[in-house]
Amino acid sequence: MARIVFIGAGSMVFAKNLVGDILSFPELEDSEIVLMDIDSHRLEQTTQVAEAMVKNSNVEATIESTTDRREALNGADYVLNMINVGETKLFENEIRIPESYGVKQAIGDTLGPGGIFRGLRTIPTMLELATDMENLCPDALLLNYTNPMAILCWTMYEATDIDTVGLCHSVPHTASAIADYVDVPEDELDYWVAGINHMAWFLTCEYDGEDLYPRLKEAMEDGEIYDRDTVRFEILRHFDAFVTESSHHMSEYVPYFRTDQTQIDELAGTGYADRMPTATYLEGWKERSDKRDNALADIDPESVTIERSEEYASRLIHSLETDTPRRLNLNVSNETGAIANLPNEACVEVPCLVDGTGVHPCSVGSLPSQLVALNRTNVNVQQLTVEGALEKDRDAIHQAVKLDPLTAAELSLTEIHEMTEELLEANAESLPDLT
C-alpha cells in the first residue's frame, strides 16, 4: 500500500483526475490517498469527490484529508505538489505592472516578469515543504506540477536532498496536436523529445516509420490549420522544429511575437492561438476562482467514476511500484549530462526510463545549435532567478528580468530596472528578503 500525498488538493478538478488515474491501476487501487490544502472549503469538495470515487468503484483505497502539511507528509511514499502560493492580487501585479511598461504577457507563469516573480513567491514554500519531507518522509519522491516548473525544480536540486521530478502534460498534448494536424492516429506516433519545460523539441516524430515533419510543414500551409497554432508554426518555419508548448505560451519565451499589438491580434487565430491576448490566463484564473469555490455545482459525487487521463503521475508511480518499464518525458536535473550542450545544473525535460529501480534520464546528446540557443535564453533567466532566491541577491533578480527575451525586446535597461523595482515593492510581502 503506497501512501500518496496531494499538496494543494483544493484544486478539485485536477486532483480528482489524478486520484482517478492512480486508482485506475489495479495494483494501486488499495493506495492510501492523503489530500492536503490550507483552504478547508476547497479541500472538503475534493475529499467528497475522492471518497465517492472510491465508493462508486468499489476499490480498497483509503482517503484522508487534512489542512496540516506535516500530518499529511508523515510516512509518505510519493508527494504530488500542485500548490499556488499567494493571493490573486500578487498574480495581477506580475501581469499588470509589466503591461503598464509595455511588456504584454499572455500567461506569465513560466518565464518573463510573471514567471520570475511567481517563482520568487513560491520558492520559500517549496523549501518549507522540502524541510518537512526531509524530516518526515526523506525517501519519498516529490512529483512537482507547479509552475514555473524549471525554476522550482532547479531550486529543489540546488538546495535540498529531496528526490524531485517535474511533470507536465505539454508533450502528450503536443503529440495529440501533431497527430491531428497530419491526420494520423495519436497512439501510433513514435517521437523523441528533449529540451526544457515548455520549450522542448520534437527531435523526431514518426508514424509507421515515416518522418512526419514533411507532412507537418505541408499542413501549416493550410490556413485553417495554421490559424490553430500560429506561433508554433512560425517557430517550425524559422527554426525547423516543433515545440512542445502552445502558441500563447511560446509567444512569451522569445522576442518575436508580443512587442506589437497588431501582430498579437494577427496571431490570434483559432484553437490554441485564441488565447494570445495580454493577461488571458489572469482573467481566466479570476473567472475560475468562483468555480473552484463551488466546484460541486458541476460534478455530482454520486456519478463520479474512475477514469485515466494522459497525466504522467500515475504511470510513474505504477512503474516504480510494480517494476513496469515505461518511457516518460520528465523534468530532471541535467547532472548526468542528458543534454550535452546545456549546463549540468539546469532542469531539463528529457525522455526517462522508469521501472522499479527508479527514474533514469536518457542521454540525448547535443541539441541542434539553433534549438539549444533558444533554450539557453530561457535557462539564463531560470539560473539567475534561482541564484537570486537562494542567495537573497536583489541584483540577480534584476539581471534575470533584464535577460528575459520578451522584456529585453520591449524595454531599455533603465526601464527594466524601474519595472523590477516596482514589482519588488508591490509584492514584497510574498518574496524572500533580498539584499
Say if CB 165 and CB 332 are below 8 A apart: yes
Q: What is the DSSP string of 338-374?
A: SBTTS-TTSEEEEEEEEETTEEEEPP-BPPPHHHHHH
Residue 251 and residue 105: Cα distance in Å, rounded? 9
Which amino acid type is present at position 352? C
User: Can you give the three-state secondary structure of 373-418, one letter per residue?
Assistant: HHHHHHHHHHHHHHHHHHHCCHHHHHHHHHHCHHHHHHCCHHHHHH
- At which residue does the C-alpha cell 526510463 appear? 353
169 is a catalytic site residue: yes
Residue 213 and residue 239: Cα distance in Å, rounded? 13
Residue 339 and residue 366: Cα distance in Å, rounded? 6
Residue 23 and residue 409: Cα distance in Å, rounded? 47
> What is the distance, to the nearest Å, from the Cα of residue 63 to the centroid of all Cα atoms in its chain?
26
Closest Cα partner for 5 from 57, 63, 55, 45? 63
Question: Which one from 41, 169, 249, 417 is the annotated catalytic residue?
Answer: 169
Element (H, E) at 211: strand 210-211
3-state helix, strand, coil in the chain (%, to 5): 55, 15, 30
- Spell 102-115 as b/e; 16+ CB within 10 A means b: ebbbbbbbbbbbbb
Residue 253 and residue 198: Cα distance in Å, rounded? 9
Catalytic residue IDs: 169
